[in-house]
C-alpha cells in the first residue's frame, strides 16, 4: 500500500451505533455513535438523556 499510494498502512477504527427503539411503533427514538471501547452499559446514560 505504501508503494502504490505513498501512505503508511493503517487500520481504520471501528465505531458502534447504539440505538433505542419504541416497541409500540418500532421507530428509532434515540441513537449514539461511540468508539469501539464504549460498551452498551457505558452508552446507556446518554441514550436515556436523549429520550
- pLDDT single digits (tens) 20-43: 999 999 999 999 999 999 998 999
For residue 3, being part of any structural domain is answered with no
For residue 23, being part of any structural domain is answered with yes
Q: How many domains does the chain have?
A: 1
CA-to-CA dists, residue 44 to 14, 15, 23, 48, angstroms: 19, 16, 17, 6
Judge whether 29 and 21 are in contact, CB under 8 Å.
Answer: yes
Give the pLDDT confidence score for residue 30 in this predicted structure. 96
For residue 10, being part of any structural domain is answered with no
For residue 32, being part of any structural domain is answered with yes
Range of the domain at 41: 15-49
CA-to-CA dists, residue 11 to 1, 6, 7, 35, angstroms: 12, 15, 12, 14
For residue 31, being part of any structural domain is answered with yes
**Minimal CA–CA distance to 17: which of 5, 26, 28, 6?**
28
For residue 1, being part of any structural domain is answered with no
For residue 37, being part of any structural domain is answered with yes
* Global confidence as pTM: 0.69
Amino acid at each position: 500500500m505504501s508503494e502504490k499510494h505513498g501512505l503508511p498502512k493503517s487500520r481504520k477504527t471501528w465505531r458502534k451505533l447504539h440505538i433505542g427503539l419504541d416497541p409500540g411503533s418500532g421507530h428509532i427514538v434515540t441513537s449514539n455513535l461511540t468508539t469501539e471501547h464504549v460498551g452498551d452499559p457505558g452508552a446507556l446514560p446518554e441514550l436515556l438523556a436523549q429520550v
